[in-house]
Structure 1
């Protein structure tokens, strides 16, 4: 198959244009609702609490609290 440099360049450029337009098609997702944001924040806090709970902490490290009213 004989193909000229111009034809080859045209095929390559056409492929990149199609690839770029396909990549840009889903521009932005709609913003999450307030309930979704709340559930996301709660799940992040649960994960953070699980990570903190994995670390052993001796009682001598924790400060003594005295609550006076």
Structure 2
């Protein structure tokens, strides 16, 4: 039970931290609240994305499971 409570607390702290950032402010200003919500939803996707030396994004691992 403690682990579950801790996980919920950490998710809320992550949400608060991301919400303070400039990128979040601009995202919400553009009316993209759903993007913010997806970004802070820990565990929404099991995919892992990397950035190569040219600054391009690529998938390190991809999971088909998305909530």
Structure with more helix by fraction = 1
TM-score, structure 2 length as denominator?
A: 0.35
Structure with more strand by fraction = 2
